[in-house]
Amino acid sequence: MPENKPFQRLPKNVIPKHYDLELTPNLEKLTFTGKTAVKVSIVNSTKEIVLNSLDLELKSVKLQYNDGGSDSTLSPVEVRLNAADETACIVFDKPLPEGEAMLFCEFNGEINDKMKGLYRSKYLTPAGEERYAAVTQFEATDARRCFPCWDEPAIKATFDISLDVPADRVALSNMPVREERIEGGKKFLRFDTTPVMSTYLVAVVVGEYDYVEKKSRDGVLVRVYTPVGKSKQGMFALEVAARVLPYYKEYFDIAYPLPKIDLIAIADFSAGAMENWGLVTYRETCLLVDEEHTSAVRRQWIALVVGHELAHQWFGNLVTMEWWTHLWLNEGYASFVEFLCVNHLFPEYDIWTQFVTETYIRALELDCLKNSHPIEVPVGHPSEIDEIFDDISYNKGASVIRMLHRYIGDDDFRKGMNIYLTRHQYKNTFTEDLWAALEEASNKPVGAVMSTWTKQMGFPMVQVSSEQRGPDRVLTLTQQKFCADGSLGDDTLWMVPITISTQEQPSKVALSTGLEQRTQEVVLENVAESSWVKLNPGTVSLFKIITLYHVSVGL
The one-digit pLDDT tens for each residue of the chain (555 residues) are 444 444 578 999 999 999 999 999 999 999 999 999 999 999 999 999 999 999 999 999 999 987 655 568 999 999 999 998 999 999 999 999 999 999 999 999 999 999 999 999 999 988 889 999 999 999 989 999 999 999 999 999 999 999 999 999 999 999 999 999 999 899 999 999 999 999 999 999 999 999 999 999 999 999 999 999 999 999 999 999 999 999 999 999 999 999 999 999 999 998 899 999 999 999 999 999 998 899 999 999 999 999 999 999 999 999 999 998 888 888 889 999 999 999 999 999 999 999 999 999 999 988 888 888 888 888 777 777 777 677 788 899 999 999 999 999 999 999 999 999 999 999 999 999 999 999 999 999 999 999 999 998 899 988 888 889 999 988 888 888 888 888 877 788 999 888 888 888 776 665 555 667 788 888 888 888 888 888 888 899 888 877 655 455 454
CA distance 446 to 431: 11
CA distance 20 to 437: 35
Residue 508: per-residue pLDDT: 60
CA distance 526 to 524: 7
Sign of the alpha-carbon torsion through 356, 358, 363, 369: positive
> Count of alpha carbons within 13 Å of 253, Cβ hemisphere only?
11
175 Cα distance to chain centroid: 19
The type of residue at 246 is: P
Nearest residue to 336 (alpha-carbon basis) of 322, 321, 356, 366 = 356
Q: Please provide the size of the chain in residues.
A: 555
Provide the annotated active-site residues: 309
326 is in an annotated binding site: no
Nearest residue to 509 (alpha-carbon basis) of 409, 418, 431, 440 = 409
Residue 534: per-residue pLDDT: 87
Residue 422: per-residue pLDDT: 97
312 is in an annotated binding site: yes
pTM of the full structure: 0.92
List 449's β-bridge partners, or say none: none
Q: Which residues contact 293 (CB under 8 A, 6 or more apart)?
A: none
CA distance 444 to 8: 37
Q: How far is CA 178 from CA 70, 202, 205, 402, in A?
A: 31, 17, 17, 41
CA distance 397 to 399: 5
List, in sequence order, every beta strand (DSSP E) within 304-355. 320-321
Q: How far is CA 189 from CA 171, 173, 208, 520, in A?
A: 8, 10, 16, 66
Burial class of residue 3 in the structure, from the number of CB atoms within 10 Å of its CB (0-12 exposed, 13-18 middle, 19+ buried): exposed
Q: How far is CA 130 from CA 133, 171, 186, in A?
A: 10, 19, 21
Angle between helices 397-408 and 410-424 (to 10 degrees): 120
Q: Which residues contact 178 (CB under 8 A, 6 or more apart)?
A: 190, 191, 192
Give the DSSP H/E element, type plus range, for residue 400.
helix 397-408
Rounded to a whole number of angstroms, the CA Rg of the chain reads 26
User: What domains can you pick out in the chain, each with its CATH number?
Assistant: 14-313 (2.60.40.1730), 323-455 (1.10.390.10), 460-547 (2.60.40.1910)
Nearest residue to 459 (alpha-carbon basis) of 477, 476, 488, 479 = 479
353 Cα distance to chain centroid: 24
